[in-house]
A and B are shown apart, each in its own frame.
Chain A
Amino acid sequence: MKKRGAAFSMLSAIEVVAAAIILLLLFNHAMRWSSTERPYQAYLAEDIALVINSLYSSPGGNIIVNYTQDASGFNVSIDEKKVLLYKKGIGIDEISRKFIGTGTDKIDEKLLENPKEIQFAKIGNEILIDNLVKADLNTLTCDEFAGEKLTNKKILVDPGYEKDNIKPSKEMCDIANSLVFKLTNAGVNYFNIFSTRKLNEYDEDEGIISINCNDLSKSDKPYEADVAISLRPGKNKNTKNNIKAFIVSGSEKEKESRKLACLMINSILGNNALGGIKITGASIVPVDLEATGMEFPDGIQNKIFVMLEIGNTESEQGKLLLEKVPELGDSISKGFVEYGK
C-alpha cells in the first residue's frame, strides 16, 4: 500500500507540473497576442516584403530606400524568397512573409540583428540590404555577355590630347602610366602594350614600360592594337565631376566597347580609395566618328575602344579626382582585367 501511495503522489505531481506548463504557455501566448508587439512584427514582415517586391518592380536605374519603420526589436533575416522576423532565442516567435524574385535580379541575403536603421537598394541587377548600404547610385548596369579575356590582346594606351592642343596634359600621362604599370602587374605582356605617344626605353632590370611624359610627342612607331583605351580630363565650366566613356557608335565592336567602358566606370565608382571625392554622374556615350569634333586615335573604328573622360579641370572635386593618379590607374586596370571573367 505504501508503494502504491507513492506512485499516486508522483503521478499527481506530474499532472500538476504538466498543467502548470500548459497554463504558462497558454498564458504567455495570450499575453503576447494581447500586446501590440506581434501584430507590429507581422506588419513589419509584410511591409519589408512589399518594399522588396517594389524594388524588383523598379524599371532600371539605381535606387536606395531608407526604411523608416523601427525594426530594432527584432532580428531581420532576408533570403531569396522571404523575410523572417524573430526575437533571438525564442523559435516560436518567428513571422515570415514571402516575396517574389526575378530570374535576372539577385538579392543579397542578409541577417540584421536588432537593426536601428535599414536601407534597401537596387544597384544594377542586385538588391542590397544593410544598415547602411555602401553603393554608388551612379553605378552602371553592364551587359551580361562574357567576352574573351583582354589581357592577352594588344593594347593601345592613349593619354589623349585636348582639342587645339597637340600634347596631352601631364596628369593624363601620369594616369596612363599608372594604368600601364598596373596592367603589366596584372599579367599583360609589355610587348603587347603600345601608345600613341613615345614610350621610354624598356628597363630590363626593373621590367617597367612607361610613356615618356617629358616628351609627349606622337609616337612614330606603327601600332596594330586590338583594344584602345584613351584618356582625357573633363573640362566644363560648372561644378560637375562626371565620368564619361565615349565609344564608337556603329562599330563592329560596339557591344564589347560598351561592356569594357561599363566595367571601367564601375571600377572607378567602386574604388573606396577615392572616398571623399564626389563623383556627380557616370555615363557611356556612343559617338559617331564622322560627326564628332572630338579627336580620337587613328584606326579605332572597329576595335574595342573606350575614351574615358575623367573629372573636370574647372571644378574643385574634378581637380581632386584628377590628382588621384595611382587610384585611377588601378581602377581602370581592374575594370580592364574584369572583362571576360
Chain B
Amino acid sequence: MWKTTFRRIIMLIPQLIGVTLLIFILAEFMPGDAFSGRFVEDPTIGSEREEELRELHGLNDPWHIRYTRWVGDMLSGDFGLSLVHRRPVLEMVAERIGNTLLLSIVSIVIIYSFALPLGIIAGKNWDKPSEKIISFYNFVQMSIPTVVFAIVLQWFFGIILGILPLRGSIDVRVVNGTFFEIWGSRLQHVILPALSISLLSGVSVIRFLSNEINEQRHLDYTVTARAKGLSMDKVYRNHIFRNSMLPIAATSGSLIAGLFSGVLIIENIFTFQGMGQLFFTSVSQRDWPIVNFLVVFYSILTMAGFLISDIMLTIFDPRIRIK
C-alpha cells in the first residue's frame, strides 16, 4: 500500500508543473499588470518611472525566466510580496486561512452528519414514501443556485429571526475578548455560510449513497447473508452499509475539492474574511502574486483531496490493495 501511495505522490509532480504553467500563462494573457493604471492619479510617477519599476521587478523579462523564478522562489519558501499591499503573500494568507479552514471543516461535518443518515434512510426504503420525500428534497435543493440559497438563509436567520449574523467572520467587539467569546462569535458567524455550502453538496452524497445501497441490496452476497439466517436489519448493518460506503469514500476527494470552489463564492457573499474573499479582491486588483499563490495552493489541496480518497479506497477495498 505504501508503494502505491508513494507512486501516487510522485505522479503529482508533473500535474503540479502543468498547473503552475497554466496559471502562469493565464495570468500572462490577462490584460494589464500590477502597475498598469495604478499611478494615473500620482503626478510624481510618470510613465517612464512606471517602466523603470517594471524593469526593477523583472516584469519585462522573458516569460520562461519569470516562470522559473516564480517556481524557484516558491520552492525556497518565498512566495513574494503582494503588489498592492507590499506585504508578504504568506502573511496575508496566514491571516485568513484559519477562517477558511474553520468554514470548510464545519461544512464537511454538516454534510456528512445529515447526508449519511438521509442516504441510508432513502436507500433502505427505496420506492417507499420516505425515499420519495428525500428525493424531492434533493430535487428542490439542486434547483436552487447556491447564491440564492445563501441569500434566503441570510434573510431568514439574519433578518426575520435575527439570531445569526448576516456577514463577517467575527464580531469586532469581541476580538480582544476571552477564548469563549471569540470562539462563540466565530462559530455563530460560520453557521450560515457553512449551511449554504453543505446543504447543496450533501445532495450528491445522499443520492450516491442511496443508489448504492439500493444496488448492493440486490447483489448475490446479500442473498447469501440472508440465507445464513441474518435478519434484514443485520444484513444492512453488517454487509450492505459498509460496502456502500466505498464509493462515498472514493468521491470524498472530489466532494472536498468541489467544496473549495463553493467556499470561494460563499465567502464573498458573507464577506467572510477567508481566502476566497482574498482571492476575489486580489483578482480585481490584479495582485498576481496572491492570486497565483492561491491557485497553486488550491490545486495542491484538490490533488491532495483525490489522493486521500484513493488511499481511503485502498484501505477499504481489498480488491485494489497491491501486495
Q: Do chains A and B interact in one complex?
A: no
